[in-house]
Amino acid sequence: MKIRSTTVLAVKHNGKVAIGADGQATMGNTVAKSNVKKIRKLQEGKVVTGFAGSTADAFTLLERFDEKLNAYGGNMKRAAIELAKDWRMDRYLRKLESMLIVADATDILILSGTGDVLEPDHHIAAIGSGSMYAQAAAQAMIKHASHLDAKSIVEESLKIAADICIYTNSNLIIEEV
């Protein structure tokens, strides 16, 4: 049975970066857990990550990413590129089914198993089953409610995704960098 889950959203707005995720994990058409913590702080809180996909696979990738951060002096972009290279080239890592969003105070990146390191347009990154709902909501809020801060935009956008996507719930964890 394939485990499906989640919605992770990162937004950079008015000089702040926030990243959040819902807490739902499903197996087939059943909610397996409703309070999974999919957001992790690294580098003493200077880098925040979120994951979608297999939890065990994501933890493997997060460990590798943390190692890369340490190896490259906390340089998030360099660590992301090096992890993506390993992920694409290593036979074991290639089989991992997960995606990551990584963020620091200045940048947001999406990392995938195909070797992609994407710097998203409009300072919004979203992954997971409800990602398009959350991303669309965040874009609308930035455009029409620019007085909101990044954390509020992430929170409201994830709530909208939870109302639409059956694989997303409203048990949210949101962190700012």
Question: What digits encode the pLDDT tens for the residues 80-117?
Answer: 999 999 888 887 787 888 889 999 999 999 998 788 99
Predicted structure pTM score: 0.94
- Count CB atoms within 10 A of the CB of residue 57: 18
- What are the tokens at 60? 């493997």
Identify which has the larger pLDDT, 49 or 112: 49
What's the average model confidence in pLDDT over 52-58? Answer: 85
To the nearest 10°, report the CA torsion of 57, 79, 175, 14.
-140
**3-176: CATH architecture:** 4-Layer Sandwich (3.60)
Of 177, 134, 148, 135, residue with least CA distance to 16: 177
pLDDT band at 1 (very low <50, low <70, confident <90, very high): very low
Q: Quick check: is 6 catalytic?
A: yes
Coil, strand or helix at 35? coil
Q: Are 82 and 36 in contact (CB under 8 A)?
A: no
Q: Is the pLDDT of residue 4 over 70?
A: no
Out of 6, 7, 49, 55, pick the active-site residue.
6
Token pair recorded at residue 24: 């739902």
Cα separation, 161 vs 168, whole angstroms: 7
Q: Where are the domains of the chain?
A: 3-176
